[in-house]
Chains A and B, each alone.
Chain A
Amino acid sequence: MNNTLFRVCPDTGLKFHRPAETLMKANAVAAVVFLLVGGFYALLVGLTRWQAVHLLAADQFYMVLTLHGLNVLIFWILFFEIALLYFCSSTLLGCRLAAPRFAWVGFALMLIGAVMNNVIVLQGNSSVMMTSYAPMGAHPVFYLSLILFAVGALIGCFVFFGTLVIAKDEKTYEGSVSLVTFGAITAAIIAVFTIISGAIILIPTLLWSLDLIAHIDALMYRLIWWGFGHSSQQINVSAHIAIWYAIAAIMFGAKPLSEKVSRMAFLMYILFLQLASVHHLLVDPGLSSEFKMFNTSYAMYLAVMASMVHGLTVPGSIEAAQRAKGLNNGLFEWLRKAPWGNPTFSGMFISLVGFGFLGGISGVVMGTEQINILLHNTLYVPGHFHATVVIGTTLAFMALTYWLVPILFRRELVMKKLASWQPYLFGGGMAGVALFLMGAGTVGVPRRHWDISFSDAAGAVYEFPGAANTMLALNGVFVILAVAGGAAFCVIVVASLLFGKKLGEDEKSPVPLIAEPPADADYEGIGSGTITVPGTLVFALVFFASFAIYYFVNWKYLGETWGIS
């Protein structure tokens, strides 16, 4: 093996292909920059929806909301995911990255697209929000920038698949790829479908904005756009779940309870997760109930089941590893004595719990055709997806980043104290945002609405219950906390990269960065009786009970909306 092309990490033994490493760094840094930009816009949006503050004027609000959605949902997440794909292929399989030059072209396209998009939206004539529903039109450059970005991301996916082929040909691993890499494969597959759907809809829309096509059908646009918009979220879910598995292995030496079951759960994602795109179309006319029900019930529940498998095997594997290390007392000693001060662990665990309890339950409830009518297009929707894509995905990415700073960037983390608090601040703030947005949605407050008091409309249009304003105000308070938590992350990472103590190439980090896996023999006799992971079992029962109660409450609420006489 050529030594100049590879370096072996002194802490983990991972083999980094240098060109791949540079690409990962570039993508990760770009990701954090766009998170910072998008987070700033989040503050402005949150403070505008706080009725008593009402910061921005109407036209600015919709422009800033567009900027917020695109910068965080698309640019932050996708740059990070490309870095992750390269890590899970080249680094975890210990092989060279396929076509690094091609990967740089992809990176350049993404960067150009993202910058162009920000510039054109800031001009003020493309405030169409991230969904850009036709026939509401944006400047042609808006669509062009998204297409460039998507082509760049697609190149990244091809480089990833190419790298898998290289690893196989050069036999850099034995047997099957690791579960974490398998999760990344799942993400990349969903990404390919996502980007194809995006191309099918955005290219005609670009031509339409240039007057080369006369008409874009609104319903057709929504259908195909959501093949892109929803599926892109499933890339995130697969990616952050791969990270949960990775962090369980890194922090505890945990191994999945059953590789086979976890892999089958990822396969269910590949087959079914993208079909749930229909939950965005549940109130659209022209689509049959068969289409809606099949895709959002039968198919979606299979995908949801897979999420529950992941959501339970990850803490289960941590519990088993902790018990094997001797923390075998009672139900929860393993959890109490977990490294709560380490942001890689706490971030991952908050991500898992928040994603399951807040994001998962609200998603299944809202994805039920009958209940959807209560919540469609209300603030409940952003409430739900801030639990999934912010607490779930974003926090998991942050957690991994704390670990990557010394491993990938060879710098010690600075502001460690702040870092140990950051996941709580961000996760707690975001939980508040998610809950109060959902609360506001439950009392009917619409999403993407500049002013629910209709102050500039002649004659009051609708009076919301007082609780609506309270929810929005509480949301505003938590927006500030969450933004502080997000900013803390960006500051810690940037400061570490610039000023953190440099670690030499063969110098071990002063703190151990990877846990020894417990020996197989240590796993014998753990748990109580025949149940090896009783704590996780209790956790699962609490989850099911919360889910059932909340589901029932919503049906009851629906039942009261239209009385039967």
Chain B
Amino acid sequence: MSEQQPDENGKEPLMQRVLDNPFILLFVGVAFPSVLYLVWGIMEIVSVPLGQ
């Protein structure tokens, strides 16, 4: 995103640094659904009481 200019300290804006780092994106892209979908879902299923 070349339209954004580095600030006085010569650092790029935080959001741009995040978007430019595929490994941060990879981390959040795996962490988010793992927690909100897999872990949450598994916890709900595990807490269903067993039938007799």
Contacts and interface: CB of A to CB of B under 8 A. Distances in A.
A357 to B, nearest CB: 28
A203 interface: no
Interface in B25-52: 25-26, 28-30, 32-34, 36-38, 40-42, 44-45, 48
B19 A267 contact: yes
A277 B41 CA distance: 11
Interface string A216-246: 0101100110010001000000000000000
Contacts of B25: 185-186, 189, 267, 270
Nearest to A160: B22
A196 B30 contact: yes
Interface string A167-202: 000000011110000100110011011001100100
A5 interface: no
Interface of B is mostly: helix
A259 interface: yes
Given A196-B30, A287-B44, A275 B37 contact: yes
Interface stretch (A138-146, A291-299, A335-343): A291-299
Contacts of B9: none
A256 to B, nearest CB: 10
Interface string B1-28: 1111000000000001001101101101
Contact of B29 (A189, A227, A260): A189
Given A176-B1, A286-B45, A287-B45, A274 B37 contact: yes
Interface residues on A, range: 35 or more
Given A161-B22, A227-B38, A270 B29 contact: yes
A227 B19 contact: no
A260 B3 contact: yes
B38 A224 contact: yes
Contact of A175 (B2, B32, B40, B44): B2
B1 A263 contact: yes
A530 interface: no
B31 to A, nearest CB: 9
A286 B44 contact: yes
A324 interface: no
Contact of A295 (B29, B30, B37): B37
A277 B38 CA distance: 10
A271 B29 contact: yes
Nearest to B27: A189
Given A189-B25, A267-B19, A274 B44 contact: no
B3 A192 contact: no
A164 interface: yes
Contact of A185 (B22, B37, B42): B22
A288 interface: yes
Contacts of A196: 30, 34
A189 B38 contact: no
Contacts of A277: 33, 37
B1 A175 contact: yes
A174 B12 CA distance: 14
A278 B37 CA distance: 8
Interface in A254-300: 259-260, 263, 267, 270-272, 274-275, 277-278, 281, 286-288, 291, 294-295, 299
Nearest to A175: B2
A281 B41 CA distance: 10
A356 to B, nearest CB: 24
Contact of B36 (A176, A177, A294): A294
Nearest to A217: B45
B32 A260 contact: no
B45 A192 contact: no
Contacts of A197: 38
Contacts of A272: 32
A274 B41 contact: no
A288 B37 contact: no
A260 B5 CA distance: 13
Given A176-B2, A176-B16, A189-B26, A223 B42 contact: yes
B37 A192 contact: no
A192 B26 contact: yes
Between B19, B30, B48, the greatest number of chain A beta carbons within 10 A of the residue's beta carbon is seen for B19
Nearest to B46: A220
Interface in A298-327: 299
Contacts of B42: 220, 223-224
Interface of B: 1-4, 16, 19-20, 22-23, 25-26, 28-30, 32-34, 36-38, 40-42, 44-45, 48
Interface of A: 161, 164, 174-177, 182, 185-186, 189-190, 192-193, 196-197, 200, 217, 219-220, 223-224, 227, 231, 259-260, 263, 267, 270-272, 274-275, 277-278, 281, 286-288, 291, 294-295, 299
16 contacts: A161-B22, A176-B1, A176-B19, A182-B19, A192-B26, A196-B34, A220-B45, A223-B42, A224-B42, A231-B33, A270-B29, A271-B28, A274-B37, A277-B33, A278-B41, A286-B44
Given A176-B16, A270-B32, 17 more contacts: A176-B1, A186-B29, A190-B29, A193-B29, A217-B45, A219-B45, A223-B41, A227-B33, A231-B33, A259-B3, A260-B3, A271-B32, A274-B33, A275-B32, A275-B37, A278-B41, A287-B45
* 4 A-B pairs closest in CB distance: A189-B29, A274-B33, A270-B29, A175-B2
